[in-house]
C-alpha cells in the first residue's frame, strides 16, 4: 500500500470502529430503556388493576350485604300491611315483584363485580359457575375442561377469571358463536388458558393494526402483569382462539 492507500485504509478502520461503537451503544441503550419501560408499565398497570379490583369488591360487598338485606326488609315490611282493598293488594303484589326483580339484579351485578365463589372456592369453581349461569341465559353452549390439581393464588385467580369473563363477553357480543370451549391446563411450568369459539371470526391482522378495543387492551394488561403471553388466532368464518400462557 502506498501512502494515500494507507491513509484511506486508516480512515476506513477508524470509521468502522466508531460506527461499531455507536451501533453497540444504540443496541444496549434500546434494550435497557425497553426493560425499564416494561417494568414501569407493569407497575402502573398492576396499581391500576389492584385499585379497580378493590373498588369492585367493595361495591359488590355493599350491594350484596347492605342493599340486598335492606330491600328484603322493605319487602317484609310491605307484606305485613293488612289491606282489604283488592286494588291495594294488586299494587302490593306488583311492588313485591319489582323488589324481587331488583334483588335478582343486585345479585347479578354483585356476582359480576366479584363472585363470592372465586374468593372462597377458587378459579375453577368460579368459572364453572359463570359458565353454568351463561349456559342458562344465552344460546351458547360451553364446554369447560380443566386440570384438577391446578393451584393458583388469589391475585392470579382474579386476573384469570376477569380474562375468561372479558373473552366470553367479547364472544357473546361480536362472534355470533354457538359453542365455546374453555381449557385450563398446566403445561411445562405454564398455566395455559385457551378459549375457542366457532363464531364468525375476524381479520385479526387488519383490525388489530387499526385499533383494538378496551376489552382486548384489558386482556393484554392482565396477561402482562402476570408476566404471561397472549395469542389471538382468528380468521373470517373460522372462529377465534384466545390463548394465555401464564408462568406458574
Partner 1 sequence: MNFTLVIAFSLSIYIAGIVAVIRLKKINKVYYPFLISIWLGCLSELVNSLLAEKNLNSYTNINLYILFETLLIVLFFRNLGLFQFQKKLFYTIIGGLIAGWIIENIIVKQIDTIAIYFTIYSSLIIVLLSVTILNKLIVSSRRTFITNPVFLLCIAFIIYFTYQVMVYAFWIYAPQSDASFLLKIFSIMIYINLLTNLIYALAVLWMHKKQEFTLPS
**Can you give the binding site for partner 1, defined by CB under 8 A?**
1, 4-5, 8-9, 11-13, 15-16, 19, 23, 26-27, 30-31, 33-35, 37-38, 41, 205, 208-212, 216-217, 220, 224, 229-233, 243
Rounded Cα distance between 35 and 110, Å, is 39
Taking the complex as a whole, the smallest distance from the CB of residue 1 to partner 1 amounts, in Å, to 6
Can you tell me the distance from the alpha carbon of 105 to that of 122, in angstroms, rounded to the nearest whole number? 24
Cell numbers for 46:
398492576
Least spacing, CB of residue 168 vs partner 1, in Å: 17
Nearer to partner 1, 14 or 89 (CB): 14
Smaller CB separation from partner 1, 112 or 181: 181
Q: Exposed, middle or buried by CB within 10 Å (0-12, 13-18, 19+), for 201?
A: buried
The residue (of 11 and 76) whose beta carbon lies closer to partner 1 is 11
- Cα-based distances in Å from 150 to 184, 192, 216: 9, 11, 26
For partner 1, give the closer residue by CB, 23 or 52.
Answer: 23
Q: What are the residues whose beta carbons fall under 8 Å from the beta carbon of 97, sequence distance 6 or more? A: none
Give me the least distance between CB of 34 and partner 1, in Å please.
5
CB closer to partner 1, 26 vs 178: 26
Q: How far is the CB of 12 from partner 1 (least distance, A)?
A: 5
Alpha-carbon distances of 42 from 32, 33, 224, rounded to whole Å: 16, 14, 7
Amino acid at each position: 500500500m502506498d501512502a494515500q492507500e494507507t491513509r484511506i485504509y486508516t480512515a476506513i478502520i477508524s470509521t468502522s470502529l466508531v460506527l461499531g461503537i455507536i451501533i453497540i451503544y444504540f443496541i444496549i441503550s434500546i434494550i435497557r430503556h425497553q426493560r425499564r419501560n416494561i417494568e414501569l408499565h407493569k407497575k402502573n398497570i398492576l396499581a391500576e388493576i389492584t385499585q379497580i379490583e378493590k373498588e369492585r369488591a367493595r361495591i359488590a360487598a355493599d350491594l350484596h350485604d347492605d342493599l340486598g338485606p335492606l330491600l328484603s326488609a322493605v319487602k317484609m315490611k310491605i307484606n305485613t300491611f293488612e289491606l282489604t282493598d283488592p286494588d291495594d293488594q294488586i299494587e302490593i303484589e306488583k311492588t313485591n315483584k319489582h323488589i324481587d326483580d331488583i334483588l335478582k339484579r343486585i345479585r347479578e351485578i354483585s356476582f359480576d363485580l366479584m363472585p363470592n365463589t372465586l374468593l372462597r372456592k377458587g378459579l375453577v369453581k368460579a368459572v364453572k359457575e359463570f359458565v353454568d349461569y351463561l349456559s342458562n341465559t344465552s344460546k351458547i353452549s360451553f364446554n369447560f375442561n380443566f386440570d384438577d390439581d391446578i393451584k393458583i393464588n388469589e391475585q392470579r385467580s382474579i386476573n384469570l377469571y376477569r380474562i375468561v369473563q372479558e373473552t366470553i363477553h367479547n364472544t357473546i357480543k361480536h362472534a355470533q358463536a354457538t359453542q365455546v370451549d374453555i381449557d385450563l391446563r398446566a403445561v411445562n411450568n405454564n398455566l395455559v388458558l385457551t378459549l375457542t369459539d366457532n363464531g364468525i371470526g375476524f381479520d385479526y391482522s387488519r383490525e388489530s393494526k387499526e385499533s383494538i378495543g378496551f376489552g382486548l387492551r384489558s386482556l393484554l394488561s392482565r396477561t402482562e402483569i402476570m408476566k404471561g403471553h397472549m395469542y389471538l388466532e382468528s380468521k373470517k368464518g373460522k372462529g377465534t382462539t384466545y390463548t394465555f400462557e401464564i408462568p406458574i
